A = this chain, B = another copy of it.
């Protein structure tokens, strides 16, 4: 028990240090909302909308929805987060990992479930896409999402 507790504590301490380092490294002050958001994403690394982030954090931290929007915008600007469109009402955000973590998603048209897809078939094309175009100089990003039906929704 004690061992588990120590391990957990150490992990949390490490995580907290990482989060602070990330913030400082990007010129941010270390504040409650920012720490809470980054921590949330590091423990539950699924795409989330501003509303979802707000609902998760608001009870404990009292953070405002507007602050979530502003924070996500600034994180996106620094490349910490990236926004993705999953054909939902709101924009979703996820941690913008390095190239080795490049991935996409499958979204269920029935229940909205989101699953990660590790394989990216677009990367090779993205690299050469600009050269095939008469008008484009470079391609810096691409979005790729798959839509379908998850097994439980397919059964109706």
Contacts and interface: CB of A to CB of B under 8 A. Distances in A.
B122 A106 contact: no
Interface string A134-154: 011111111111111111011
A133 B121 CA distance: 16
A87 interface: yes
A64 interface: no
Given A139-B147, A139-B148, A140-B149, A106 B85 contact: no
Nearest to A154: B137
Contacts of A124: 121
27 contacts: A106-B130, A106-B133, A106-B136, A109-B140, A113-B135, A115-B135, A115-B136, A121-B121, A121-B122, A121-B125, A122-B146, A130-B148, A136-B148, A136-B150, A136-B151, A137-B150, A137-B151, A138-B148, A138-B154, A140-B147, A140-B148, A141-B146, A141-B147, A142-B147, A143-B145, A143-B147, A144-B144
Interface of A: 85, 87, 106, 108-109, 113, 115, 117, 119, 121-122, 124-126, 129-130, 132-133, 135-151, 153-154
